[in-house]
């Protein structure tokens, strides 16, 4: 579930393709590579020493500044270095003409860094306009380094015009075609997908075009991962996949456990194996055989002496979570003992039970259950606030949206609040489409 809560940036997309699509590794270029590099290595954003960065930005060494800025990530691990970039950005216009911070390539990378910190799906503020203006100026440059930085930054705020500007890049800088396709795959707009197809049309060599076509087709699941729901892609309605992901949040990659695996795991004495199998089973309507196996085990364990697996509270909690999700996804009735088990697990002081218990209970919650989740989260580590908001934003339970806002208001940690804001913004359109404007 946690994998779905963070947005990939361009460097992570490139790394994902290098790792997961080895046959395409020559095409998944990171935002910055040496021009003569024959085989780029997987790119991982670096944690940057803020003192080194400040020294270089004040030194006049533009090449070194670009190297540092292009290799650092601008997420929370580099918060101190992002502050250095912010200060350098603010003083750029008052700096001397030969200053590093007046160099157009350096300023493009600084703008990219500042844009990267903006929460996805949030509205831009007036103070952001100079950053946006710089990115739009740089995307039409003939300098590849400026364009790389601009494309990466524009993925966060792209309009239809920005998409067209990115699509136009390969006509003047053919070597950046594949990279522009990667960046377009992160933009939550339907016309960005069309833009990838247009880039393919600019490739004259048939073999090259076939390779890029295969590469482009592999970008689709990454694009949905970035945008979280299809309805977040401007121009798309709520899809069947959106409805599935709303009611039954994905827990990770893979097809999920089979009914035979579920039966074997719940009939064994291996608690860890049983929990792993249950976590892999998504409990969607299409997995009726697996759900039936869990339901049979649930009913059996409730009426007869059980073995180690059936008696284990963590396994019981995950069984209840599965059955609650199955009921929510199919809009069917459920055994009241499921809710009883989940309420007990939410109240338990053992943190191991809280995540699956909140997820399961939120699927079938009454107004009292929603308040229970809020009250319990107040007593737990801040980490669980983020999880609880996600659960409460992906349910039509009465008062759930308001409860998510309550949790947000009490969180003081700015990084956690940023994650919570992402949960709220990213679920807004899908929640309205499924639950209605009133959220119920």
Euclidean distance between CA atoms 29 and 43, whole angstroms: 8
DSSP 103: S
Note the pLDDT tens digit of each residue in 370-395.
999 999 999 999 989 999 999 999 99
Average pLDDT over residues 79-89: 95
Average pLDDT over residues 114-141: 91
Average pLDDT over residues 200-221: 79
Cβ neighbourhood burial of 426 (10 Å; 0-12, 13-18, 19+): buried
Is residue 198 within 8 Å of residue 232, measured between CB atoms?
no
Is residue 170 within 8 Å of residue 202, measured between CB atoms?
yes
pLDDT, position 435:
94
Poorest-pLDDT segment among 6-20, 26-40, 150-164, 285-299: 26-40
pLDDT, position 67:
95
User: Helix 336-347 to helix 367-378 angle, to the nearest 10 degrees?
Assistant: 20
**Whether residue 115 has pLDDT greater than 50:** yes
Please give the torsion angle defined by the CA atoms of residues 360, 363, 369 and 374, in that order, rounded to the nearest 10 degrees.
80
Query: What does pTM read for this prediction?
Result: 0.77
**Whether residue 11 has pLDDT greater than 50:** no
pLDDT, position 49:
94
- Please, which residues have CB within 8 angstroms of residue 161's CB and are 6 or more apart in sequence? none
**Whether residue 359 has pLDDT greater than 80:** yes
pLDDT, position 253:
56
**Whether residue 139 has pLDDT greater than 90:** yes
pLDDT, position 438:
60
**Whether residue 261 has pLDDT greater than 80:** yes
Poorest-pLDDT segment among 217-231, 274-288, 334-348: 217-231
Q: How far is CA 101 from the centre of its chain?
A: 32
**Whether residue 397 has pLDDT greater than 90:** yes
Note the pLDDT tens digit of each residue in 280-323.
888 998 889 999 999 988 887 654 445 568 778 899 999 999 99
User: Helix 129-138 to helix 104-116 angle, to the nearest 10 degrees?
Assistant: 130
pLDDT, position 8:
47
Note the pLDDT tens digit of each residue in 149-174.
999 999 989 999 999 999 999 999 99
Length of the chain: 440
pLDDT, position 5:
39
**Whether residue 257 has pLDDT greater than 90:** no
Q: Which of the pair, 203 or 338, is modelled with greater confidence? A: 338
pLDDT, position 440:
55
Q: Which of the pair, 27 or 310, is modelled with greater confidence? A: 310
Average pLDDT over residues 425-432: 94
Q: Percent of the chain having pLDDT more than 90?
A: 55
Distances (CA, A) of 132 to 107, 174, 382: 12, 24, 33
Tell me the domains of the chain and their CATH numbers: 2-232 (no CATH), 244-435 (1.25.10)
**Whether residue 110 has pLDDT greater than 90:** yes
Poorest-pLDDT segment among 7-11, 314-318, 319-323, 427-431: 7-11
**Whether residue 19 has pLDDT greater than 50:** no
């Amino acid at each position: 579930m946690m994998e779905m809560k963070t947005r990939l940036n361009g460097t992570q997309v490139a790394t994902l393709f290098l790792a997961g699509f080895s046959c395409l590794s020559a095409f998944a270029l990171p935002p910055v590579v040496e021009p003569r590099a024959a085989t780029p290595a997987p790119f991982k954003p670096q944690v940057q020493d803020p003192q080194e960065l400040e020294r270089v930005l004040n030194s006049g060494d533009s090449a070194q500044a670009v190297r540092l800025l292009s290799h650092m990530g601008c997420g929370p691990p580099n918060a101190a270095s992002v502050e250095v970039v912010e200060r350098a950005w603010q003083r750029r216009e008052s700096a001397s003409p030969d200053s590093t911070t007046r160099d157009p390539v350096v300023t493009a990378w600084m703008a990219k860094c500042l844009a990267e910190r903006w929460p996805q799906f949030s509205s831009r503020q007036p103070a952001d306009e100079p950053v946006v203006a710089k990115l739009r100026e740089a995307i039409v440059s003939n300098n590849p380094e400026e364009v790389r930085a601009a494309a990466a930054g524009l993925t966060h705020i792209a309009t239809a015009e920005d998409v067209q500007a990115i699509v136009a890049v390969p006509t003047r800088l053919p070597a950046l075609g594949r990279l522009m396709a990667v960046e377009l795959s992160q933009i939550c707009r339907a016309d960005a997908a069309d833009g990838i197809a247009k880039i393919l049309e600019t490739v004259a060599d048939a073999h090259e075009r076939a390779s890029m076509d295969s590469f482009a087709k592999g970008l689709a699941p990454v694009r949905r991962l970035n945008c979280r729901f299809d309805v977040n892609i401007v121009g798309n309605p709520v899809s069947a996949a959106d409805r599935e992901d709303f009611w039954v949040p994905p827990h990770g990659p893979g097809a999920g456990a089979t009914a035979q695996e579920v039966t074997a795991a719940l009939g064994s004495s291996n608690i860890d194996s049983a929990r792993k199998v249950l976590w892999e089973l998504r409990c969607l309507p299409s997995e009726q055989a697996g759900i039936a196996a869990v339901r049979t085990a649930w009913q059996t364990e409730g009426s007869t002496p059980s073995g180690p697996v059936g008696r284990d509270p963590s396994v019981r909690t995950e069984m209840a979570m599965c059955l609650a999700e199955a009921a929510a996804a199919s809009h069917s009735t459920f055994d009241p003992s499921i809710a009883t088990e989940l309420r007990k697990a939410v109240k338990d002081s053992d943190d191991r039970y809280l995540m699956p218990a909140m997820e399961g209970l939120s699927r079938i919650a009454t107004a009292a259950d929603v308040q229970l989740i809020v009250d319990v989260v107040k007593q737990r580590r801040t980490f669980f606030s983020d999880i609880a908001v996600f659960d409460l934003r992906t349910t039509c339970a009465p008062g759930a949206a308001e409860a998510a806002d309550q949790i947000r208001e009490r969180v003081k940690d700015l990084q956690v609040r940023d994650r919570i804001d992402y949960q709220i913004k990213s679920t807004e359109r899908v929640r309205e489409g499924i639950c209605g404007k009133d959220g119920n």
